[in-house]
């Protein structure tokens, strides 16, 4: 397994490094110090050479593959540093060779990679057992669930880089004619020069105030929870949305966050707004981009976390994520809660760990689906889709979520 080859950036499976690397060293006297520096309790010590300032324990990586299975990883930089450190500390006679290049996983082998932190050796051991258990469960899942799980981890990885901007958008329309837009809400978090920027707001179309809902969906336009709603004319309504997108483009990569995106994107492209959305992509790239416009859907993220083929309404998602919320079907509120739901998931632990922490011992023995209790499912509908008959001229076919 060992060979002195040029360094290629990538990752190694933890199991390959821990169980195999020491066995194939040309000088077996080097095996003992290598095993010692890789031991669980050693890895998490603050004096360990892989220790990262500000991190309690060890930072490693979790990778997911095309099959949906996960593996605990070391980066190639960590592996390389270990061998040089051992030699510098006179613990090995020579710099030990790198693992075989066949053991190196590159971007072509891995769907997503995100950092994980373990505070103590017991946590590392437990993580390995849980990863193996979840991989076995996953074998009973279908491709839709696997795709959503991969999307979840990619969003976690991108969010962790704290760059670009994530902006949740929501429209409300008159329930009897969806071409009459009545409200628009937004909630964004972005980074400029390393500083976090947060903004949210709610617009009401003045000319359409007489078109009220209440038959199919609640009428909540006057119940914005996060400040004062702005009443604007139709022309200003359109201009404000264009100005918002111009502002977003200044951050670099733009992630538009929706809960069930199809209807809202249709509104953005409709004559009432007329936003071109050039280059809009439903596919997230393999690595954080420098620019571009991408769709992220919290209904898909939560379905991945829940292990389900079925999407849930925003109110149920907030309920299950324990996000305090009220007055849905106000565009400003829905945008605010959508981003809060995304951040709650994206800023959390890896999917399987997060699922178990949120709902302990509630995952089906065969598969990765959470079983919710009856009182947790006591929630009203939250989305207009599927409740009102489709408006003539609109295609209600759901867009698929795919990854490259």
Please list, in sequence order, all residues whose beta carbon lies within 8 angstroms of the beta carbon of residue 94, skipping any fewer than 6 positions away. Answer: 27, 30, 87
Residue 155 within any structural domain of the chain: no
CB 255 within 8 A of CB 298: no
Show the tokens assigned to 23. Answer: 């066995």
How many C-beta atoms lie closer than 10 Å to residue 296's C-beta? 26
Instruction: Verify that 182 and 120 share a domain, yes or no.
Output: no
CB 369 within 8 A of CB 261: no
Residue 404 within any structural domain of the chain: no
Please list, in sequence order, all residues whose beta carbon lies within 8 angstroms of the beta carbon of residue 176, skipping any fewer than 6 positions away. Answer: 211, 215
In this structure, which long-range contacts are made by residues 150-153, counting pairs with CB atoms below 8 Å and at least 24 apart in sequence?
150/64, 150/68, 150/111, 150/112, 150/304, 150/403, 151/284, 151/300, 151/301, 151/304, 151/401, 151/403, 152/301, 152/304, 152/305, 152/345, 152/351, 153/62, 153/64, 153/111, 153/112, 153/114, 153/350, 153/351
Instruction: Verify that 78 and 208 share a domain, yes or no.
Output: no
- pTM for the complete prediction? 0.78
Instruction: Verify that 14 and 112 share a domain, yes or no.
Output: yes
Q: In terms of Cα–Cα distance, which of 74, 121, 332, 68 is closest to 226?
A: 332
CB 177 within 8 A of CB 391: yes
Residue 153 within any structural domain of the chain: no
pLDDT digits (tens, 9 = 90+) for 279-332: 999 989 888 999 999 999 999 999 999 999 999 999 999 999 999 999 999 999
For residue 297, what are the β-bridge partners? 258
3-state secondary structure (DSSP) of residue 294 = strand
Instruction: Verify that 71 and 215 share a domain, yes or no.
Output: no
Task: Tell me which of 103, 122, 139 is where a domain ends.
Answer: 139
User: Cα(203)–Cα(240) distance, rounded to whole angstroms?
Assistant: 9
Which segments of 193-336 are extended strands (E)? Answer: 195-205, 230-232, 254-258, 280-281, 293-297
- Determine the pLDDT at residue 1: 52
Separation of CA 11 from chain center: 21
Boundaries of domain holding 25: 2-139
Instruction: Verify that 180 and 135 share a domain, yes or no.
Output: no
Number of domains in the chain: 2
Instruction: Verify that 210 and 75 share a domain, yes or no.
Output: no
User: Cα(47)–Cα(43) distance, rounded to whole angstroms?
Assistant: 9
316-330 as b/e: b if 16+ CB within 10 A: bbbbbbebebebbbb
Q: What is the mean pLDDT of each run of 10 residues along the chain (404 residues)?
A: 55 94 93 95 95 93 86 94 95 92 83 88 91 83 87 94 97 96 98 95 98 95 98 97 97 96 95 93 90 96 95 96 97 98 96 94 88 74 40 36 36
3-state secondary structure (DSSP) of residue 36 = helix
- Determine the pLDDT at residue 113: 85
Residue 399 within any structural domain of the chain: no
Instruction: Verify that 245 and 338 share a domain, yes or no.
Output: yes
């Amino acid at each position: 397994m060992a060979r002195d080859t040029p360094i290629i950036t990538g990752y190694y499976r933890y199991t390959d490094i821990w169980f195999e690397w020491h066995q194939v060293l040309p000088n077996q006297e080097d095996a003992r110090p290598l095993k010692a520096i890789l031991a669980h309790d050693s890895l998490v010590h603050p004096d360990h050479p892989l220790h990262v300032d500000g991190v309690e324990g060890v930072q490693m990586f979790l990778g997911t593959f095309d099959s949906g299975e996960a593996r605990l990883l070391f980066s190639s930089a960590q592996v390389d540093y270990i061998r040089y450190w051992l030699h510098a500390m006179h613990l090995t006679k020579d710099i030990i060779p790198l693992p075989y290049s066949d053991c190196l996983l590159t971007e072509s082998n891995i769907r997503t990679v995100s950092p994980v932190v373990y505070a103590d050796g017991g946590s590392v051991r437990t993580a390995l057992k849980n990863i193996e258990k979840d991989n076995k469960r996953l074998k009973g899942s279908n491709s839709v669930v696997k795709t959503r799980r991969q999307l979840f981890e990619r969003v976690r990885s991108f969010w962790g880089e704290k760059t670009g901007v994530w902006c949740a958008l929501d429209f409300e329309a008159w329930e009897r004619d969806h071409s009459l837009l009545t409200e628009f809400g937004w909630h964004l978090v972005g980074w400029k020069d390393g500083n976090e920027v947060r903004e949210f707001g709610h617009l009401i179309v003045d000319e359409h105030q007489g078109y009220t809902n209440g038959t199919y969906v609640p009428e909540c336009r006057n119940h914005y929870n996060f400040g004062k709603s702005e009443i604007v004319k139709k022309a200003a309504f359109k201009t404000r949305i264009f100005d918002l997108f111009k502002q977003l483009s200044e951050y670099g990569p733009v992630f538009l966050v929706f809960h069930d995106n199809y209807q809202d994107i249709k509104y953005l492209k409709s004559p009432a707004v007329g936003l071109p959305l050039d280059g809009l992509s439903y596919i997230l790239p393999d690595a954080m981009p420098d620019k571009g416009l991408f769709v992220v859907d919290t209904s898909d993220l939560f379905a991945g976390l829940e292990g389900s083929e079925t999407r849930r309404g925003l109110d149920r998602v907030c309920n299950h994520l324990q996000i305090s919320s009220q007055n849905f079907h106000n565009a400003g509120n829905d945008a605010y809660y959508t981003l809060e739901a995304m951040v709650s998931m994206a800023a959390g632990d890896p999917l399987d760990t997060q699922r178990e922490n949120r709902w302990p011992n509630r995952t089906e023995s065969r598969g990765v689906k959470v079983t919710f209790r009856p009182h947790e499912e006591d929630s009203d509908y939250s989305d207009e889709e599927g409740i009102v008959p489709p408006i003539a001229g609109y295609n209600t076919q759901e867009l698929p979520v795919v990854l490259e």
